[in-house]
């Protein structure tokens, strides 16, 4: 047993030697700000040393590269970033080797133009979706938040690890604790990258963090134009005239209660969730309750559970139609207005669950109020998102199945 | 009075026990040697050992550049080593807890699972994960799991002491508690979002992923404190195994020592599974395997089944980390895959004889 104690003590000593506070590279006067002349001197000195046989002590090429980034993107000063968990981190160098446990964050990073070579490891879910994340094929597999592969994560020597902010909190805390005991130099950042209320802020923060401010603004302009159009036009509808909506996920009769993500998205699209009074986030509801609450529109989500079809990797729309028929054929459901008026819609979780939620909101807004949105083309929004922001060679005319009826 | 034959027989048994324990220690040492070299970081075998030395004697070892580059010392010391040691301590602790429970209750089915302790821990963890409620801020999951496990043990125990319950009734009460806590867990899962439910499910698989040096220290302290106590009272367990009347006539205070043993076993179990999730299976199987080989004398049964538990858990963890490259199968699943066939094999063989 003394042996184990000895190991313990040694380990504590081992961990004690964490790095001291860093300073901005090439900040030769040490005032915390890298000025144009400091950077110029550093560059000239190193050119001199390399080509003219100069003998002044010069910064390494890594230092020089990092200094140029800090000067260009952060005004020559260390940057303090507040992530979605409220934690502040100060960086004096750019992040070049990032391990990302959250697929939604990978997508958000791509939206603002972060190059895939700055990512050294991704979650197994990112790797399992080569149609959507082709450029991440072959990256180190970090496992999942619930079953992380610590050795792999440490072996790729990341300078930063991105984790979820509000879901799987205890698992993510656990990952932070373990990884920093392996390598105390790793910085951690928390982003959800799928929650509508936080999405725009997260995009902006990510832009500043990774030096993609312009990409972030360009994406936010696009995203904002969709969300603002919808919000602006539904604002005029009084609460009691809003379309009532029954939302069902991939499990039959499993709806969305108060405060759930889907409840929020129905609200964003101008609908009134008929089960918004349920405190359980994802309640299993009584079919009779749906009949008696008589929704104007039914929205069914597919793409998970037993209804795995559609999305980016599957072009066949037939199962969507089957699902619609099955809902219409439920006993006595022909009395529901939504069924009688042919307003049963099926949507794939890819365009409503994650960072593409705004596409789903556009679809739903158009379903709820077709007269208000004659000019809104959700599919064109989707295509623009894929081509311009995800930089994917993917044609929605030919591939994928996301909604029914189209 | 012992006959010569009996004496010989006993000497042979003693020898067999010593051999068995020695063999287990050798196997365990070999497993440790293998385990520290396994992992998805793909460090060369020599680097793993050198990293251990470098951690112990930072001055004496001159690290080659490739090891600085791969952070071999960080990986081995920050991750592998405490995990390996944790597997040993946890396997040891769970196995002796199971041995003691089976001995006290004179029932081969007694284990942290059947007594509701494991499902109480799962229930506590679910409360923390899904409702975000708990008693030990910062360590909600661990704190709740421990507290609920002790609560279950206390409940069984309170009933037993107050009402003078026999061992069968105690087991029945345990099974009832298990169903109650499982129902609460299911209800919480019904309330929770799919992410949280998944987190609960992963917690319940039982895994060594959550090990760390401080946790290892804590578990070691508890196990090290409890084992000598149990060994010291091992005769009482032998007497209890013969029945309450026999034990009483031999001067064993039956109710009090049952209470003590159950408390010790529950404490060890709770302190381990609150960190690992439910790896209850070892507590059931290790004592059986050991008893089949060296008999039911608790003086040797306790340490030997502890070693068997350590070997099973460490072996299972080695496999769990290597069977699917790049993925770690939760060790709770792996122990069952590994232990049950072996257990059944031992059973069948004994029946044949």
pLDDT of residue B3: 67
Mean pLDDT lowest for which of A21-30, A195-204, B122-131, B277-286? A21-30
In this prediction, residues A11-19 reach a mean pLDDT of: 42
Residue B5 lies in a domain: no
**Most confident residue range from B10-19, B222-231, B272-281:** B222-231
A170–B141: do the CB atoms touch at under 8 Å? yes
Residue B8 lies in a domain: no
Share of residues in chain A with pLDDT > 70 (%): 95
Predicted confidence band of residue A13 (pLDDT cuts 50, 70, 90): very low
- Which class is A235-404 in CATH? alpha beta
Buried b / exposed e over A21-50, threshold 16 CB at 10 Å, is eeebbbbeeeeeebeeebbeebbebbeeee
A167–B193: do the CB atoms touch at under 8 Å? yes
pLDDT of residue B164: 67
Predicted confidence band of residue B108 (pLDDT cuts 50, 70, 90): confident
More confident residue, A230 or B61: A230
pLDDT of residue B90: 95
B129–A170: do the CB atoms touch at under 8 Å? yes
Predicted confidence band of residue A267 (pLDDT cuts 50, 70, 90): very high
B118, B280 contact by CB (below 8 A):
yes
Given A7, A170, A282, which is nearest B140 (Cβ)?
A: A170
Q: Name the average pLDDT for chain A.
A: 90
List the single best residue of B195, B227, B324, B333 to mutate versus A (max A Cβ within 10 A): B195
A170–B191: do the CB atoms touch at under 8 Å? no
B328 lies within 8 A of chain A by CB? yes
Rounded to the nearest angstrom, the minimum Cα separation between B251 and chain A is 34
In this prediction, residues A50-77 reach a mean pLDDT of: 85
How far is it, in rounded angstroms, from Cα B272 to Cα B216? Answer: 9
HEC profile of B180-196 = HHHHHHHHHHHHCCHHH
Given B79, B196, B224, which is nearest A1 (Cβ)?
A: B224
pLDDT of residue B33: 93
Share of residues in chain B with pLDDT > 70 (%): 96
* Chain A residues lying within 8 Å of B207, measured CB to CB: 147
Rounded to the nearest angstrom, the minimum Cα separation between A40 and chain B is 31
Residue B54 lies in a domain: yes
List the single best residue of B67, B194, B228 to mutate versus A (max A Cβ within 10 A): B194
pLDDT of residue A1: 44
Residue B307 lies in a domain: yes
A14–B80: do the CB atoms touch at under 8 Å? no
Residue B71 lies in a domain: yes
How many contiguous H segments (helices) and E segments (strands) does chain B have?
A: 16, 0
**Which two structure tokens, joined as six digits, stand for B27?**
């196997």
Nearest CA in chain A to B192: A281
Domain enclosing residue B231, as ranges? 13-352
How far is it, in rounded angstroms, from Cα A380 to Cα A396? Answer: 9
Predicted confidence band of residue A12 (pLDDT cuts 50, 70, 90): very low
Nearest CA in chain A to B275: A174
**Which two structure tokens, joined as six digits, stand for A234?**
């539904």
Residue B324 lies in a domain: yes
Q: Specify whether domain A79-211 bears CATH 3.40.50.2300.
A: no
pLDDT of residue B87: 95
* Chain A residues lying within 8 Å of B140, measured CB to CB: 170
In this prediction, residues A300-304 reach a mean pLDDT of: 94
Number of domains observed in the structure of chain B: 1
A182–B41: do the CB atoms touch at under 8 Å? no
B193–A281: do the CB atoms touch at under 8 Å? yes
What DSSP character marks residue A56?
S
Given B79, B81, B216, which is nearest A178 (Cβ)?
A: B79
Indicate whether B352 pLDDT > 60: no
More confident residue, B59 or A268: A268
B56 lies within 8 A of chain A by CB? yes
More confident residue, B38 or B242: B38
CATH number at residue B315: 1.10.3470.10
pTM confidence score: 0.84
Indicate whether A228 pLDDT > 90: yes
B191 lies within 8 A of chain A by CB? yes
More confident residue, A216 or A4: A216
B302, A128 contact by CB (below 8 A):
no
Residue B239 lies in a domain: yes
B323 lies within 8 A of chain A by CB? no
**Which two structure tokens, joined as six digits, stand for B332?**
């709770």
* Chain B residues lying within 8 Å of A13, measured CB to CB: 58
Share of residues in chain B with pLDDT > 90 (%): 34
* Chain A residues lying within 8 Å of B210, measured CB to CB: 174, 178
What DSSP character marks residue A300?
E
More confident residue, B102 or B156: B102
List the single best residue of A3, A12, A13, A14 to mutate versus B (max B Cβ within 10 A): A14
**Which residue is it, tokens 């199971």?**
B98
Q: CA torsion, points A351, A328, A334, A367, in degrees to nearest 10? A: 20
* Chain A residues lying within 8 Å of B42, measured CB to CB: 155
How far is it, in rounded angstroms, from Cα A312 to Cα A303? Answer: 10
Indicate whether B329 pLDDT > 50: yes
How far is it, in rounded angstroms, from Cα A314 to Cα B17? Answer: 63
Mean pLDDT lowest for which of A16-20, A85-89, A194-198, A263-267? A16-20
Predicted confidence band of residue B351 (pLDDT cuts 50, 70, 90): low
B142 Cβ partners below 8 Å, 6+ apart?
A: B136, B274, B275
Rounded to the nearest angstrom, the minimum Cα separation between A161 and chain B is 16
More confident residue, B335 or B35: B35
A151–B209: do the CB atoms touch at under 8 Å? no
Predicted confidence band of residue B326 (pLDDT cuts 50, 70, 90): low
pLDDT of residue A21: 46
pLDDT of residue B165: 65
Nearest CA in chain A to B142: A170
Given A4, A168, A183, which is nearest B220 (Cβ)?
A: A4
pLDDT tens-digit map of A311-340: 999 999 999 999 999 999 999 999 999 999
Does an H or E element contain A162, and which? Answer: strand A160-163
pLDDT of residue A393: 93
Q: Where in chain A is the domain with CATH 3.40.50.1980?
A: 79-211, 235-404
B213 lies within 8 A of chain A by CB? yes
pLDDT tens-digit map of B62-105: 888 888 888 888 889 988 999 999 999 999 999 999 999 888 88
* Chain A residues lying within 8 Å of B330, measured CB to CB: 147
pLDDT tens-digit map of A113-160: 999 999 999 999 999 999 999 999 999 999 988 888 898 999 999 999
In this prediction, residues B342-349 reach a mean pLDDT of: 78
List the single best residue of B209, B210, B225, B306 to mutate versus A (max A Cβ within 10 A): B209
In this prediction, residues B138-155 reach a mean pLDDT of: 89
pLDDT of residue A194: 92
Predicted confidence band of residue A19 (pLDDT cuts 50, 70, 90): very low
List the single best residue of B39, B57, B79 to mutate versus A (max A Cβ within 10 A): B79
> In whole angstroms, how far apart are CA B287 and each of B100, B110, B135, B169?
9, 11, 34, 22
Nearest CA in chain A to B80: A151
More confident residue, B285 or A56: B285
In this prediction, residues A216-245 reach a mean pLDDT of: 95
List the single best residue of A17, A171, A255 to mutate versus B (max B Cβ within 10 A): A171
**Pairing assessment for the beta strands A79-82 and A88-91 based on DSSP bridges:** antiparallel
Mean pLDDT lowest for which of A129-143, A219-233, A319-333, B319-333? B319-333
Residue B244 lies in a domain: yes
pLDDT of residue A40: 87
B117, B126 contact by CB (below 8 A):
no
């Amino acid at each position: 047993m003394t042996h184990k104690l000895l190991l313990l003590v040694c380990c504590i000593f081992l961990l004690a030697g964490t790095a001291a506070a860093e300073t901005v590279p090439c900040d030769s006067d040490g005032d915390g700000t890298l000025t144009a002349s400091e950077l110029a001197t550093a560059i000239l000195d190193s050119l001199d040393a390399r080509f003219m046989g100069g003998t002044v002590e010069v910064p390494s090429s890594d230092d020089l590269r990092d200094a140029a980034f800090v000067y260009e993107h952060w005004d020559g000063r260390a940057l303090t970033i507040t992530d979605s968990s409220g934690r502040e981190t100060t960086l004096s160098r750019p992040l070049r080797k990032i391990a990302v446990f959250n697929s939604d964050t990978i997508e958000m990073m791509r939206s603002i133009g972060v190059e895939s070579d700055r990512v050294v490891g991704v979650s197994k879910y990112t790797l399992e979706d080569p149609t959507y994340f082709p450029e991440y094929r072959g990256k180190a597999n970090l496992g999942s938040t619930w079953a992380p592969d610590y050795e792999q994560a440490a072996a790729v020597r990341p300078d930063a690890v991105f984790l979820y902010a509000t879901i799987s909190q205890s698992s993510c805390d656990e990952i932070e604790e373990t990884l920093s005991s392996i390598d105390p130099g790793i910085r951690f950042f928390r982003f959800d990258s799928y929650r509508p209320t936080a999405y725009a802020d997260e995009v902006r923060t990510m832009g500043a963090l990774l030096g993609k401010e312009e990409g972030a603004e360009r994406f936010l302009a696009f995203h904002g134009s969709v969300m603002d159009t919808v919000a602006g036009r539904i604002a005029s509808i009084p609460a009691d005239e809003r379309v009532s909506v029954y939302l069902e996920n991939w499990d039959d009769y499993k709806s969305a209660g108060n405060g759930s993500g889907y409840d929020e998205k129905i609200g964003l699209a101008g609908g009134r969730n008929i089960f918004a009074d349920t405190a359980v986030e994802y309640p299993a509801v009584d079919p009779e309750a749906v009949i008696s609450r008589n929704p104007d529109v039914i929205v069914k989500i597919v793409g998970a559970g037993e209804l795995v079809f559609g999305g980016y990797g599957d072009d066949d729309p037939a199962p969507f139609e089957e699902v619609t028929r099955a809902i219409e054929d439920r006993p006595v459901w022909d009395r529901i207005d939504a069924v009688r008026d042919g307003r049963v819609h099926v949507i794939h979780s890819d365009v409503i669950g994650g960072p593409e939620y705004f596409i789903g909101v556009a679809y739903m807004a158009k379903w709820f109020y077709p007269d208000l949105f004659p000019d809104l083309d959700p599919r064109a929004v989707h295509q623009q998102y894929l081509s311009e922001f995800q930089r994917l060679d993917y044609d929605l005319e030919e591939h994928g199945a996301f909604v029914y009826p189209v | 009075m012992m006959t010569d034959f009996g004496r010989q027989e006993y000497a042979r048994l003693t020898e067999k026990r010593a051999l068995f324990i020695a063999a287990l220690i050798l196997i365990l040492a070999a497993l440790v040697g293998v385990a520290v070299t396994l992992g998805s970081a793909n460090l060369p075998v020599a680097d793993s050992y050198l990293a251990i030395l470098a951690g112990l004697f930072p001055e004496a070892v001159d690290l080659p550049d490739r090891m600085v580059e791969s952070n071999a010392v960080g990986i081995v010391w920050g991750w592998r080593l405490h995990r390996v040691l944790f597997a040993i301590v946890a396997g040891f602790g769970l196995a002796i807890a199971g041995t003691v429970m089976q001995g006290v209750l004179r029932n081969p089915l007694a284990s942290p699972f059947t007594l509701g302790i494991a499902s109480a821990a799962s229930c506590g963890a679910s409360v923390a994960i899904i409702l975000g409620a708990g008693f030990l801020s910062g360590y909600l999951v661990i704190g709740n799991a421990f507290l609920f496990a002790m609560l279950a043990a206390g409940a069984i125990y309170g009933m037993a002491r107050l009402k003078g319950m026999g061992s069968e009734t105690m087991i029945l009460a345990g099974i009832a508690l298990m169903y109650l806590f499982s129902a609460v867990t299911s209800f919480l899962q019904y309330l929770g979002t799919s992410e949280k439910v998944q987190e609960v499910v992963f917690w319940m698989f039982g895994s060594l992923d959550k090990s760390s040096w401080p946790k290892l220290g804590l578990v070691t302290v508890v196990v090290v404190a409890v084992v000598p106590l149990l060994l010291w009272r091992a005769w009482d367990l032998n007497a209890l195994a013969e029945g309450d009347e026999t034990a009483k006539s031999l001067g064993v205070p039956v109710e009090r020592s049952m209470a003590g043993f159950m408390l010790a076993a529950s404490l060890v179990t709770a302190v381990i599974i609150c960190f690992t999730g439910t790896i209850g299976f070892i507590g059931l199987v290790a004592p059986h395997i050991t008893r089949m080989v060296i008999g039911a004398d608790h003086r040797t049964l306790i340490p030997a089944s502890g070693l068997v538990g350590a070997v099973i858990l460490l072996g299972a963890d080695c496999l769990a980390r290597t069977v699917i490259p790049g993925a770690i199968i939760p060790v709770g699943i792996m122990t069952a895959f590994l232990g049950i066939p072996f257990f059944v094999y031992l059973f069948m063989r004994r029946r044949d004889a």
